[in-house]
A and B are shown apart, each in its own frame.
Chain A
Amino acid sequence: MNVVRVKEHHPLYSELSVIVGSKYTTDSDFAVWAYSRDSSPVPGKVPGIIVRPGSTEEVSEIIKLANITHTPVIPRGGGASIFGFPAGIPGRSIVIDTTRLDKLIEINEENMTVTAEAGIGVCELGTKLTEKGYYANLVWAPYYADTLGGLIGGVMGGGWSTRTQVVGPNANHILGMKVVTPTGGIIQTGGGPGTNVHRKTTFMRDGGGPDTTGLFIGDGGTFGIKTEITLSIYPLETVAKPRGFLFKSFDDIWSAISKLMAIEPFPYTNLVGLAPNATALFMSDPCWVLLCYTRGYEEEEVTTKIKVVDEVCKAAGGELGSEAIHMQASAAGTGEMYREMGKLASIGMWVFLETHVPKEDLPRLFNKYAELIDQRFEEKGIKEYGGIRMDVMLPVGHGECYLSTNVYWQVNVPEARKKVMEIADEFVNVTINDGLFATTAQRIPAGVTGANWSPSYYEFMRTLKRAMDPNNIINPGHWGL
Chain B
Amino acid sequence: MLEKYRYNVARCARCGICRAKYSEKVHYVCPVREHTGGFEHYFSRGRVAVAAGILEGAIDYSPELVDVLYTCLGCKSCVEQCGSVDMRNGKSLVDTAKIVREMREDAIALGLEPKIMQELHATVSKTKNTFGGNLEEKNKLAKKFELPEKGDTIFFSGCYGVYRDRKEAEATIKILKATGAAPAYLADKEWCCGVMEYWGGNTKVARDMALHNLEALTTAGVKTLVTACSGCLDTIKDIYPEIIEDKLPFKVIHISEYLADLVEKGELKFTKEINKTVTYHDPCHLGRHARIFDAPRKVIESIPGITLKEMERNREASGCCGSGIGAVRALEPDLALAITNDRIKEAVATGAEVLTSACPMCVEQLTLAGRASKAKLEYINLPALVAEAMGL
- Can you add 20 more A-B contacts, CB < 8 Å, to A144-B16, A343-B84? A4-B63, A24-B38, A25-B37, A28-B64, A30-B68, A31-B46, A34-B41, A34-B50, A39-B13, A39-B14, A78-B19, A78-B20, A97-B39, A128-B22, A142-B16, A341-B13, A341-B15, A344-B13, A344-B15, A345-B11
**Cβ contact within 8 Å between B11 and A29:** no
Asked if A281 CB lies within 8 Å of chain B CBs, one says: no
**Cβ contact within 8 Å between A79 and B14:** yes
**Cβ contact within 8 Å between B14 and A412:** no
Collect the chain B residues with CB atoms within 8 Å of residue A127's CB: 22-24
Per DSSP, are chain B's interface residues mostly helix, strand or loop, or mixed?
loop
| CB under 8 Å from chain A, chain B span 141-175 | none
Distance of A212 from chain B, by nearest CB (Å)? 30
Nearest A residue to B50 via CB reads: A30
Partner of A29 from the list B59, B81, B94 (CB cut-off 8 Å) is: B59
Q: How large is the interface on A (under 10, 10 to 19, 20 to 34, 35 or more residues)?
A: 35 or more
Partner of B13 from the list A4, A5, A78, A349 (CB cut-off 8 Å) is: A349
**Cβ contact within 8 Å between B50 and A5:** no
Knowing A3-B60, A4-B60, A30-B65 are in contact, say whether A345-B13 is a contact too (CB < 8 A): yes
**Cβ contact within 8 Å between B93 and A345:** yes
Collect the chain B residues with CB atoms within 8 Å of residue A123's CB: 20-23
Partner of B62 from the list A4, A50, A78 (CB cut-off 8 Å) is: A4
**Cβ contact within 8 Å between A145 and B17:** yes
Distance of A95 from chain B, by nearest CB (Å)? 10
Collect the chain A residues with CB atoms within 8 Å of residue B47's CB: 34
Interface segment, one of B104-112, B272-280, B286-294, B309-317: B104-112
Collect the chain A residues with CB atoms within 8 Å of residue B46's CB: 31, 34-35
A-B pairs, top 8 by smallest CB distance, nearest first, are A145-B16, A342-B83, A124-B22, A412-B10, A34-B46, A34-B40, A342-B84, A345-B84
Nearest B residue to A23 via CB reads: B37
Cα separation A30 to B58 with both chains bound (whole Å): 9
Binding site for B on A (CB under 8 A): 1-6, 23-26, 28-31, 33-39, 50, 52, 78-80, 97, 99-100, 121, 123-124, 126-128, 142, 144-145, 340-346, 349-350, 410, 412
**Cβ contact within 8 Å between B20 and A124:** yes
24 contacts across the A-B interface (CB closer than 8 A): A1-B61, A2-B59, A4-B61, A33-B59, A34-B39, A34-B41, A34-B53, A39-B16, A78-B19, A79-B14, A79-B19, A97-B39, A121-B21, A123-B21, A123-B22, A124-B27, A128-B22, A144-B19, A145-B15, A340-B83, A342-B15, A342-B81, A342-B85, A350-B13
Knowing A33-B53, A124-B22 are in contact, say whether A346-B84 is a contact too (CB < 8 A): yes
Q: How large is the interface on B (under 10, 10 to 19, 20 to 34, 35 or more residues)?
A: 35 or more
Collect the chain A residues with CB atoms within 8 Å of residue B65's CB: 28, 30
**Cβ contact within 8 Å between B82 and A80:** no
**Cβ contact within 8 Å between A26 and B13:** no
Nearest A residue to B109 via CB reads: A1
Asked if B372 CB lies within 8 Å of chain A CBs, one says: no
> Residue among B36, B60, B106 with the most chain A CB within 10 A?
B60
Asked if B57 CB lies within 8 Å of chain A CBs, one says: yes
Collect the chain B residues with CB atoms within 8 Å of residue A23's CB: 36-37
Binding site for A on B (CB under 8 A): 7, 10-17, 19-24, 27, 36-41, 45-47, 49-50, 53-54, 57-65, 68, 81-87, 93-94, 106, 109-110, 112
Cα separation A201 to B46 with both chains bound (whole Å): 37
Cα separation A309 to B63 with both chains bound (whole Å): 63
> Residue among B19, B22, B65 with the most chain A CB within 10 A?
B22
Collect the chain B residues with CB atoms within 8 Å of residue A346's CB: 83-87, 93
**Cβ contact within 8 Å between B87 and A99:** no
**Cβ contact within 8 Å between B38 and A2:** no
Collect the chain B residues with CB atoms within 8 Å of residue A142's CB: 15-17
Collect the chain A residues with CB atoms within 8 Å of residue B106's CB: 1
Cα separation A123 to B15 with both chains bound (whole Å): 14
Nearest A residue to B37 via CB reads: A23
Distance of B92 from chain A, by nearest CB (Å)? 9
Cα separation A126 to B23 with both chains bound (whole Å): 9
Collect the chain B residues with CB atoms within 8 Å of residue A124's CB: 20, 22, 27
Partner of B22 from the list A80, A121, A340 (CB cut-off 8 Å) is: A121
Distance of B23 from chain A, by nearest CB (Å)? 6
**Cβ contact within 8 Å between B110 and A342:** no
Collect the chain A residues with CB atoms within 8 Å of residue B63's CB: 4
Partner of A4 from the list B12, B57, B68, B110 (CB cut-off 8 Å) is: B110
Collect the chain B residues with CB atoms within 8 Å of residue A29's CB: 59-60, 62
Distance of B123 from chain A, by nearest CB (Å)? 26
Distance of A349 from chain B, by nearest CB (Å)? 6
Distance of A242 from chain B, by nearest CB (Å)? 21
Distance of B71 from chain A, by nearest CB (Å)? 13
Collect the chain B residues with CB atoms within 8 Å of residue A410's CB: 87
Cα separation A256 to B68 with both chains bound (whole Å): 55
Collect the chain A residues with CB atoms within 8 Å of residue B58's CB: 33
Cα separation A79 to B61 with both chains bound (whole Å): 24
Partner of B57 from the list A2, A344, A350 (CB cut-off 8 Å) is: A2
Cα separation A79 to B49 with both chains bound (whole Å): 12
**Cβ contact within 8 Å between A145 and B19:** yes
Cα separation A121 to B60 with both chains bound (whole Å): 32
> Residue among A2, A26, A410 with the most chain B CB within 10 A?
A2
Distance of A60 from chain B, by nearest CB (Å)? 21
Cα separation A21 to B19 with both chains bound (whole Å): 22
Collect the chain B residues with CB atoms within 8 Å of residue A128's CB: 22
Cα separation A373 to B155 with both chains bound (whole Å): 61
Nearest A residue to B68 via CB reads: A30
Collect the chain B residues with CB atoms within 8 Å of residue A31's CB: 39-41, 46
